[in-house]
Copies of this chain bind each other. A is one copy, B any other.
Amino acid sequence: MNAEILTIGDELLIGQTVDTNSAWIGKNLASFGIQITRKTAISDSENEIISAINEAFERVDFLLITGGLGPTKDDITKKTLAKLYDCGFRRDKGITVHLEAIFARRGRQMLEINKQQADVPEICEVLANEEGTAPGMWFDQNGKVLVSMPGVPNEMMHIMENRVFPRIKNRFKTPEILHYTAVTVGVPESLLSKQLEDFEKTLPPHLNLAYLPALNTVKLRLSGRSDDAALLKAEMAGYFDNMCEVCGDAIFVREDISPVKHIARQLIQSNIKISLAESCTGGFIANQLVIEPGISKVFNGSIISYANEIKQHELGVPAEIFSTVGAVSKECAQYMCESALKKFNADIAVSTTGISGPGGATDEKPVGLIYIGIATARGSRVKKYHLFGTREQFMHRAANYAMMLVKDALLQEFDVH
Contacts and interface: CB of A to CB of B under 8 A. Distances in A.
Interface of A: 10-20, 22-28, 30, 35-44, 48, 52, 55, 70-74, 108, 111, 113-114, 133, 152, 154, 179, 181, 188-191, 193-194, 200, 208-214, 219, 221, 223, 256, 282-284, 286-287, 289-291, 293-296, 299-307, 309-310, 314, 343-345, 357-360, 388-393, 395
B391 A16 contact: no
Copies of the protein in its oligomer:
2
Contacts of A74: 208-211
B302 A283 contact: yes
Nearest to A309: B300
Given A19-B23, A72-B211, 6 more contacts: A15-B27, A37-B42, A71-B190, A73-B200, A301-B310, A302-B303
Contact of A36 (B13, B37, B113, B213): B13
Given A191-B108, A306-B301, A39 B41 contact: yes
A310 B344 contact: yes
8 contacts: A39-B40, A55-B55, A71-B190, A72-B190, A111-B190, A111-B194, A293-B358, A301-B307
Given A213-B70, A293-B358, A392-B291, A14 B35 contact: yes
Contact of A287 (B16, B19, B152, B284): B284
A359 B16 contact: no
A369 to B, nearest CB: 16
A104 to B, nearest CB: 15
B13 A37 contact: yes
Q: Could you tell me the dominant secondary structure of chain A's interface residues?
A: mixed
A30 B17 contact: no
A223 to B, nearest CB: 7
Given A23-B17, A301-B307, A10 B291 contact: no
A38 B37 contact: no
Contact of A72 (B152, B189, B393): B189
B194 A113 contact: yes
B310 A306 contact: no
Contacts of A359: 293-294
Contacts of A289: 282
A33 to B, nearest CB: 12
Contacts of A111: 190, 194
Given A70-B189, A190-B114, A23 B27 contact: no
A19 B19 contact: yes
Contacts of A391: 291, 293
Given A37-B42, A214-B17, A296 B360 contact: yes
A219 to B, nearest CB: 6
Contacts of A208: 74
